[in-house]
Amino acid sequence: MSVGRPIVLTTATTCAGFGAMLASNNPSLESCALVVLVGLPLCLLASITLVPAMAVLLRLR
């Protein structure tokens, strides 16, 4: 069973939701959205590359 596609779609929809916060006039919401929009793709990258690699290295798979 592949979980790559659901992870990517979940990240995309979450980024879209937080991206909408960038249009607000509240600087606090804008900065929060910017931090999340930088962090989510990094978490996606880790979920797709580092987690499977660590599972192989630790012989969990």
Q: For residue range 24-52, what is the model confidence (pLDDT) as tens digits?
A: 999 999 999 999 999 999 999 999 999 88
Does the residue 6 lie in any domain?
A: no
Mean pLDDT taken over the chain: 91
Q: Is residue 53 included in any domain, yes or no?
A: yes
Q: How far apart are the C-alpha atoms of 53 and 18, rounded to whole Å?
A: 29
Split at pLDDT 50, 70, 90, the class of 3 is confident
Are 24 and 30 a contacting pair, CB within 8 Å? yes
- In a domain? residue 23: yes
In a domain, 7, yes or no: no
- The 8-class DSSP code of residue 23 comes to G
Number of domains in the chain: 1
Task: Say if pTM beats, i.e. exceeds, 0.85.
Answer: no
Domain of residue 29: give its range: 14-57
Burial class (CB in 10 A: 0-12, 13-18, 19+), 33: buried
Q: Phi-psi bin for 2: left (phi > 0), alpha (psi -120 to 50), beta?
A: beta
Task: Give domain status of residue 24, yes or no.
Answer: yes
Across the chain, the runs of DSSP E, i.e. the strands, are none
